[in-house]
Amino acid sequence: MSGILEGKKILVTGVLMESSIAFHTAKLAQEQGAELILTAFPRPSLTERIAKKLPAPVKVLELDVTNTEHLAGLADQVREELGSLDGVVHSIGFAPQDALGGNFLNTPWESVATAMHVSAYSLKALTMACLPLMQEGGSVVGLTFDAQYAWPQYDWMGPAKAALEATSRYLARDLGKQNIRCNMISAGPLKSMAAKSIPGFEVLADSWNARSPLHWDVTDMEPAGRGVVALLSDWFPMTTGEIIHVDGGLHAIGA
């Protein structure tokens, strides 16, 4: 029996550690038949080591999503390896330390600008860099943390994620004519590399399972990865501009 990504060619960003949602997405995508290429920054060598734990070998490209030269050369590098693309996974986010941890009112614009550029605008920049390879259509999937609410300690990553979610909707609007779908997975708190950089993350994570209808395991990345793979597949052919919550259902609970 073939997998739901059989024959698909997918670019995955953000494979930093085995605890990355992107790693589990890449693993599941290969298991479901996809051919992958990974991008990494600032340490491609780290991603290359982690990638050896995937079911099949995969090429790793250096890509700083804020570097216009990197973006301009991406399509040619990917074309050389895969020929074309059917899907792109955006698993990128960063905010300087002074934009997190309760410093919201005092964060300078320079730090906010960095958070917005890396975490939100990069979805548009990455998608446009890959667009020449998606002549037959495809699926772009990003990862967010529910931007409807103000979370403890999350500070300027919250507005950055809100901008990311809005960017996905506008990409969905403008790329639909080319049969390209753009959606987001909104995962609950997970003990990933990104989470470790958020002061007070443990408090948020520890309280999640007490409120979520389904049992929430902060160490289990696979449900989020499965969500990404599902959206990359042809099983959601008419779904775009959507945010799918993989959070144990907490988003639906008021108190």
For residues 123 and 11, what is the distance between their CA atoms, to the nearest angstrom? 13
Q: In angstroms, how far is CA 245 from the centroid of its own chain?
A: 13
Q: Which residues are annotated as a binding site for NAD(+)?
A: 14, 20-21, 64-65, 92, 161
Q: Which residues are annotated as a binding site?
A: 14, 20-21, 64-65, 92, 95, 161
Provide the β-strand partners of residue 75. Answer: none
| Catalytic residue from among 53, 124, 154, 170 | 154
Here the tokens at position 114 are 């960095």
Query: Does residue 8 have an active-site annotation?
Result: no
| Catalytic residue from among 8, 9, 161, 196 | 161
* Total residue length of the chain: 255
Q: Which pairs with CB-CB distance under 8 Å and at least 24 residues apart come from 104-112?
A: 104/155, 104/156, 107/155, 107/156, 111/156, 112/156, 112/159
Query: Coil, helix or strand for 199?
Result: coil
Q: Which residues are catalytic?
A: 154, 161
